[in-house]
Structure 1
Amino acid sequence: MCAKLEKQHTDQITYEGLLKGNKDWVAATLDEDPGFFDRLSAGQAPPVLWIGCSDSRVPANQITNTMPGDIFVHRNIANVVAHTDMNLLSVLDYSVNVLKIKHIIVCGHYGCGGVNAALGDKQVGLIDNWLRHIKDVIRMHERELSTIKDPVKKSNRLVELNAIEGAANVMSTSIVQNAWAGGQELSVHAWAYSLQTGLIKDLQVSASSADDLSPVFKMNAGK
């Protein structure tokens, strides 16, 4: 029933409707706060970088009850953090070195289609190569995951592990390590979001200095 209602809702979304929705939103926003867009256009100084999944049901601002301008956002399929992803690295570099954000959050979500696909062996398409990053997480945690027989629980745990490994990958970048070496206030966290409850789970994996890094990833800044 829920899926049917969701389909009916999305069927009503049209190109013209999006433009009208924008005008309605602007009018309602100005009615409530006439100076909103003046402040918004003056510049951004978000304290948070959000690295999340592209899933349309996980909008960073809405689920954290924040406003436009509060969170700098990067999203991709299954919130993967890969050291070869120049898109992500560019976002990370700008947010850390220009915006001077104070928190980086890698947030996965339970029921993630990318994570579920990585758990299987069916070819999907080009995305199979992207999901290899998640399969690497499975390989690293194979012993733990192999003990979980329930497919939903296994998927949920992989969502958490993928976010945790993503946060670890963020911590080990030269961008973050150089910021820490320079005394910049910066913390990295891993979260998981539930579509069923709307609640975020803090995975209790946070770091605010290179002391929290594995020695193999530590680099001497500028050397």
Structure 2
Amino acid sequence: MLSDLFDHNIRWAAARRAEDPFYFDRLSALQRPEYLWIGCSDSRVPANVITGLQPGEVFVHRNVANLVHRADLNLLSVLEFAVETLEVKHIIVCGHYGCGGVRAAMDGHRHGIIDYWLQPIRDVAEVNCATLASIPAPDEKLDRLCELTVASQVESLSRTPILQSAWKRGRSLAIHGWVYGLSDGLLRDLNCDCDGSLAEFRCEEQVTRDYELARKGSDGRGS
């Protein structure tokens, strides 16, 4: 029931005040987070909880499948505010394994208006068709596509005028690609960072190279 949410809120606020009488005074005065989190809307992936960050420490934008549409005014407004006003130092694009949005993009069914939204995932799958075709297990293939989608969004984000302008002005600002495991609660760094120093850096290619090296190692073929 909705009344339960208000009851939980009252208990939470009281507990905060008991721990720190000035907590809400500080929180209401200013927010100065170092991180912008662009994640999936999935209710099982709350940014503050899985990173151990407190309110005010991370600025959050979420959508289905953590996608970066460069014509998305919602995302661009969040990005501009985070970069220009909050002056964040790190932007984290975080997907998660078993993503329903990624699955829906590739299941061959029509889902309605979200089909347009998910088109970038199909584009990523087409570009990486050889890599995905080499993975026989459906769940592993889905998770691989989740990783590649994150890498593609890092690259797309790096090409926005907002970030290009910030880097040209000498801003120290980096984009990171992570993926979260629902089965173990752990974050994985996909090592597809971008800080503006390599204009033509190909995030998907980097993630693919790392993946192939990991597969060789698990097969006993690594050095």
> Does TM, scored on the shorter chain, surpass 0.5?
yes
Within 5 Å, give how 1:110-149 maps onto structure 2. Answer: 110-149=97-136
Per-residue CA shift, 1:122-144, capped at 9, x if unaligned? 11221111111211111121121
- In 1, Cα distance between equivalents of 2:134 and 2:3: 51
Q: Which residue does the alignment assign to 2:38? A: 51
Give percent identity, aligned residues only.
Answer: 48
Task: Find out whether 1:212 has 2:185 as its counterpart.
Answer: no
Q: Which residue does the alignment assign to 1:91? A: 78
Q: Which residue does the alignment assign to 2:67? A: 80
Number of residues of Structure 1 aligned to a counterpart in Structure 2: 202
Task: Find out whether 1:194 has 2:181 as its counterpart.
Answer: yes
- In 1, Cα distance between equivalents of 2:178 and 2:201: 24
AA at the equivalent of 1:193: Y
- In 1, Cα distance between equivalents of 2:6 and 2:59: 24
AA at the equivalent of 1:139: E
Are residues 215 and 117 of structure 1, via their aligned partners in 2, closer, same or farther at CA, if it must alter by over 3 Å?
Answer: closer
Per-residue CA shift, 1:96-137, capped at 9, x if unaligned? 011110000000000110011112101122111111121111
Task: Find out whether 1:180 has 2:167 as its counterpart.
Answer: yes
- Per the TM alignment, residue 213 of structure 1 is displaced from its structure 2 partner at its CA by 2.3
Q: Secondary structure of 1:79's partner?
A: coil
AA at the equivalent of 2:199: L
Q: Which residue does the alignment assign to 1:11? A: none
Deviates more, 1:47-56 or 1:111-120: 111-120
Stretches of structure 2 lacking an aligned partner (at least 5 in a row): 203-223
Q: Secondary structure of 2:68's partner?
A: coil
- Per the TM alignment, residue 215 of structure 1 is displaced from its structure 2 partner at its CA by 8.1
Q: Secondary structure of 2:118's partner?
A: helix
Q: Which residue does the alignment assign to 2:6? A: 19
Per-residue CA shift, 1:8-31, capped at 9, x if unaligned? xxxxxx111011111010011111
- In 2, Cα distance between equivalents of 1:176 and 1:167: 11
Q: Secondary structure of 2:43's partner?
A: coil
Q: CA RMSD in A?
A: 1.2
